[in-house]
Amino acid sequence: MQKIFRPSPNSFKNTFCVFQEVSTNEIEGLVVQYESKSGSIYYYTKIGMYRLSNHWGRLANSKWRLEPLEPESGSKFKLGFAPWTSFFPDNAIEELYYIEMNFIKNTVNYQHKNNPNYDGKAILRTSFETTKKIKQIRNLLNLTSWAKYFEYDDLDVLRNEIIKELIFTNKTLEEIKRELS
């Protein structure tokens, strides 16, 4: 008989966590231990949590992101797993987050300072400041109108330089553009 581990659902309030998408085969034989009002299903194990849900991101008082499998499955419901050591405290006041850019995939995301991969180089910001910088970076990635005032040989090089400045300094976008023009 499976021994059931049951943390309190309230123990996950005000947390940040990145789940990795996994195959639904991983929950075969596990007992559902909690189902939220919104239909998410939770399976708790000694090493971590499985969550089956059709919504990820901001959840009530928490920020839980799903890193999808590649290639991405077409299903609306996705199963994610996170070890207990991946749940970090979250609040709106402290500078808890840094920005992580993947220049190969042209994707940007935020990570928690307690992430073991944090090297201390990217500037830590509050969740509000981090969201604002990410929006600016996504605009730089998806639009080109911002570049019409620059003389440049390679737009990608210019874009990447601006993005790095946004991630690794406290300069505003306007200050960075002024310095580069």
The structural domains of the chain, with segments of one domain joined by +, span 9-89, 97-180
End-to-end CA distance of the chain: 68
Q: Among 9-23, 36-50, 130-144, whose mean pLDDT is lowest?
A: 9-23
Share of the chain above pLDDT 70, in %: 92
The model's pLDDT over 89-126, given as tens digits with 9 standing for 90+, comes to: 999 999 999 999 999 999 999 999 999 999 999 999 99
Residue among 111, 173, 93 at smallest CA distance from 136: 173
Tell me what pLDDT residue 6 has. Answer: 53
Q: Enter the pTM of the model.
A: 0.85
| Placement of tokens 């995939």 in the chain | 105
Q: Give the pLDDT band of residue 69 (cuts 50, 70, 90).
A: confident
Beta carbons within 10 angstroms of residue 69's beta carbon: 14
